[in-house]
Amino acid sequence: MVTIMRDFPSCFGENGVQVADSSSSSAAKAAQNLVTCVYKCRLDGRSCLITVTWTKNLMGQGLSVVIDDSADHCLCKVDVKPWLFSKRKGSKNLELDCGKIDICWDLSNARFGSGPEPVEGYYLAVTFEQETVLLLGDLKKEAIKKVDTGGAVFVAKREHIVGKTLYGTKARFCDKGRTHDVVIECDVDDKDPCLVVRIDSKTVMRVKRLKWKFRGNHTISVDGVAVEVFWDVHNWLFGNATGNGVFMFKTDKLCGKQSGFDPSVLAWSDSKEFRDHGAQGLGFSLILFAWKHE
């Protein structure tokens, strides 16, 4: 059986309650401003994972790019620290045993929403031997120039979002599908709280009697693709005021088909298994840490 991401507590385990130490306000604030995306690609015929992490804190915006091989060996890592982010345009050239990797970015005109991930006016490109294997952003013409477009596949995303009763993000559940607005709504201060999930303003899931069903899973359909939704809101209902709920939206690698996934193996706690999920080719997974603010 494949172990997936340990960043999500077991939906059925007695101890799968706390994902982060929400008693630490500084840790919670840091977690609220981090988005991690994982892409699967091939370098020199080898399967590799590219992990892109966007951060934001009082010092400013930060960016990290890590490339690992299938054995979880780090091939290279590039960090643009928040206090260095005034240099919003740059590149890094790295010589590896298998060839040359170039990482270049231009965020000089990037526009950001409420989170640390830019929404437009930027590009981030990773090339191997002058062939682009990953290209992000809307300024593709400025990025690719004389190199070919790449074939990296978006396999996983982990995001921390903040709200009071509404928590929103954007997601694309199939490689060739469109981007959707995902909204989670829950007022835990209600006498009988209800959990609602909406895709593009349409209600696709409603969980009543939430105090009895604070963990569980349900299958929805988006663009004809079966999406399994897992949730754990124990901390919202029974934790302290800064507790976080955790949600995962998971698709199978074959759009519209189920993977036979066993939710009892959900015992995630570190980023390694989060990246390993992509290496198994199990489709796309979105993990949301939803933090409350008063």
More confident residue, 204 or 253: 204
pLDDT at 140 over 60: yes
* CATH code for the domain in which residue 242 is found: 2.40.128.180
pLDDT at 146 over 80: no
Establish if 19 belongs to a structural domain. Answer: no
Quote helix, strand, coil % in the chain, to nearest 5: 10, 45, 40
Same domain, 161 and 249: yes
Residue 9 pLDDT: 43
Residue 275 pLDDT: 45
Same domain, 70 and 195: no
- Tell me the longest C-alpha to C-alpha distance in the chain: 61
Establish if 14 belongs to a structural domain. Answer: no
pLDDT at 282 over 80: no
Instruction: Give residue-wise pLDDT tens across range 36-65.
Output: 999 998 887 888 899 999 988 777 788 999
Per-residue DSSP letter, 283? -
pLDDT at 7 over 70: no
Same domain, 127 and 179: no
Residue 130 pLDDT: 78
Pick from 102, 130, 154: which residue ends a domain? 154
Establish if 16 belongs to a structural domain. Answer: no
Mean of the pLDDT values across residues 153-167? 88
Same domain, 163 and 287: yes
Mean of the pLDDT values across residues 254-258? 41
pLDDT at 286 over 60: yes
Residue 113 pLDDT: 81
pLDDT at 278 over 50: no
Same domain, 55 and 133: yes
Residue 10 pLDDT: 40
Mean pLDDT of the chain: 76
Same domain, 116 and 171: no
Where b means 16+ CB within 10 Å and e means fewer, 221-251 reads ebbebbbbbbbbbbbbeebeebbbbbbbbbb
* Domain ranges, residue 232: 25-32+155-292
pLDDT at 229 over 90: yes
Establish if 186 belongs to a structural domain. Answer: yes
Per-residue DSSP letter, 262? -
Instruction: Give residue-wise pLDDT tens across range 74-124.
Output: 888 888 775 554 567 888 888 877 788 888 888 888 888 878 889 899 999
Pick from 154, 185, 218: which residue ends a domain? 154
